Amino acid sequence: MRRVLNSTKLNNSSSVNTLSTRFIIRNQSRVASSPLQIKNNKNNSLKIQKSSIKNNINIRQINSDCFSDRHNGPCELEKQQMLHYLGFKDLDELTNTNVPESIRLREKLGKQIPEEGVDESKMLNELREIASLNNPYKTFIGMGFYDCIVPSVIVKNMLQNAGWTSPYTPYQPEIAQGRLESLLNFQTMISDLTDLPFANASLLDESTACAEAIALAVRVTKRRTILYDTGLHPQNIGVMATRSEPMDINFQPLDINQGNVNNKFGDNVAAIILQYPNTEGLIYENLDLLIQYAHKEKILVIMVCDLLALTLLRSAGDLGADIAVGSAQRFGLPLGYGGPHAGFMSVANLALARQMPGRIVGVSRDQQGNIAYRLTLQTREQHIRRDKATSNICTAQALPANISAMYAIYHGPNRLVYIAKMIHKATSFLSQTLKANGIQVVHKCFFDTLKILPLNKQLFDLKCEEKRINVRNYNDGYIGISLDEKQLKLVIFVIFFIYLELICVRKKSKIN
């Protein structure tokens, strides 16, 4: 309290007579009555000459080292000084010189951006008004994104707790032991579910994890062809194709046909990457045979896994996969319009682990002999590996990864299996009901996703719009429905109700 009072007295003082010249020059651009003149000396370095400085300057005015001045950017006078030094009279001239005409926005923005700044409360009110215009739908598109129930204890203590908010794996483990312990739990969870011994501390998302996996395979095998399952999610294929081009990787499709698993793949194939279950919901049979044939040709197998499905299905490690990647989104993370969600990667042996991107959290002991958590492997280019880095990944998804780890801890193994069984039973019930009413369901072996053929596609779309439901639309007229933890009963009854209406419409048309 005494320090506060003394500080208040000091700040209320009207003036100060002695100030260091360096401090005055630094802040004179904000408070002096005359502008600073900037010239280039012979060494082409910046030289500042002050024309006049007031002897009496208010402390509140000169204290530009306060939080707001450090974060609000340069003032108008400082901008003019920089423009003068660069040889431009204003920002328009600088922009016209450097920004191509083809990408400039000429239309007026109108009310989209206020001409003057607004305070926080007004801004929040405006954002709430904009958000209220959204028309939320129930989404059952799937493709790697599923709604889930986030336990309130995790929302309160992690998601809304600023102490956990960070996209980074900690730089200084000695001051972030709690976060590192939680990331170790994330690695353990991934390793247990995929049945592969080495897992990293998260990646950006599933698509980039796929791209990192094929890059790892190319580095290890010294081969440059990747065969990808045509049943991969489209976004995964897109990101890998984009990443493959500059890396000179031959990225080729592979239609996994159960009758042709023993075909020769080729001498220059580094890896086969497949989705498990695939994007249409199909669970491939005899995958272990495919993996065995691949290993005979020294080809690595990468499986893009659904974590919740792995609680019921054979694990990637049990099937013989070398690398497992995927997203931990449905472990406690809301859809969030596509992110952020934590990607993961786990591998089968130490040789692959040494080539893994990102970081691995390990356990050691400090000088007193106590258990301590540290970063066992850090392979990014900005750190110790430099040009030998396995990836340019900088940020990871530490907060989403920790939330997913806590979600698993909160439920425990038995409850996770229960959630998975409830989703699968609901999907099976929906499949049987649709078949009983003459609706074609494409795949027999599935976990939570169905591909079906509507009786009347146009009418079905209209009914989905009425019920505010988003489903996946295929180019061939089929639709996809993916069930999740949050809307099990709702989607079953709503979709079934839509089909009952369609059946009634079909019967009426036959009578007429």
pTM for this model (two decimals):
0.76
184-243: per-residue pLDDT in tens?
A: 999 999 999 999 999 999 999 999 999 999 999 999 999 999 999 999 999 999 999 999
pLDDT for residue 48: 37
Per-residue burial over 475-509, b if 16 or more Cβ lie within 10 Å, else e, is: eeebbbbbbbbbbbeebbebbeebbeebeeeeeee
* pLDDT in the model for residue 377: 82
Cis peptide before 234 (omega within 30 of 0): no
Lowest mean pLDDT among 13-27, 120-134, 176-190, 421-435: 13-27
Q: Report the alpha-carbon distance of residue 476 to residue 280 in Å, rounded.
A: 13
Highest mean pLDDT: which range of 48-62, 300-314, 349-363 = 300-314
Are the C-beta atoms of 442 and 431 separated by less than 8 Å?
A: no
Rounded CA separation 26/105 (Å): 36
Please tell me which residue, 385 or 325, carries the higher pLDDT value: 325
Per-residue confidence (pLDDT) for residue 54, from 0 to 100: 38
Take residue 356 and report the two structure tokens written for it. 């893994």
Q: How many helices (H) and strands (E) does the chain have?
A: 18, 16
The total of other beta-carbon atoms located within 10 Å of residue 439's CB is 18
**Where do the structural domains in the chain lie, given as residue ranges?**
14-103, 152-409, 413-511
Per-residue pLDDT, 258: 54
CATH fold of 413-511 reads Aspartate Aminotransferase, domain 1 (3.90.1150)
**For the residues of 291-307, what is the DSSP string, one character each?**
HHHHHHTT-EEEEEEEH
For residue 364, list its beta bridge partners.
372
pLDDT, residue 65, reads: 66
Separation between Cα atoms, residue 362 and residue 264, nearest integer Å: 40
Query: What is residue 436's predicted lDDT score, i.e. its pLDDT?
Result: 84
Considering the four listed CATH numbers 3.40.190.80, 3.40.640.10, 3.50.50.60, 2.60.410.10, the one that applies to the domain covering 152-409 is 3.40.640.10
Query: Residue 109: pLDDT band by 50, 70, 90 thresholds?
Result: low
Q: How far apart are CA 144 and CA 344, in angstroms?
A: 13
Mean pLDDT of 394-416: 91
Average pLDDT over residues 128-148: 89
3-state secondary structure 72-102: CCCCHHHHHHHHHHHCCCCHHHHHHHHCCHH
d(CA 373, CA 341): 24
- The label of the residue with tokens 């019921």 reads 312
- Out of 57-66, 96-105, 147-156, 435-444, the most confident range is 147-156
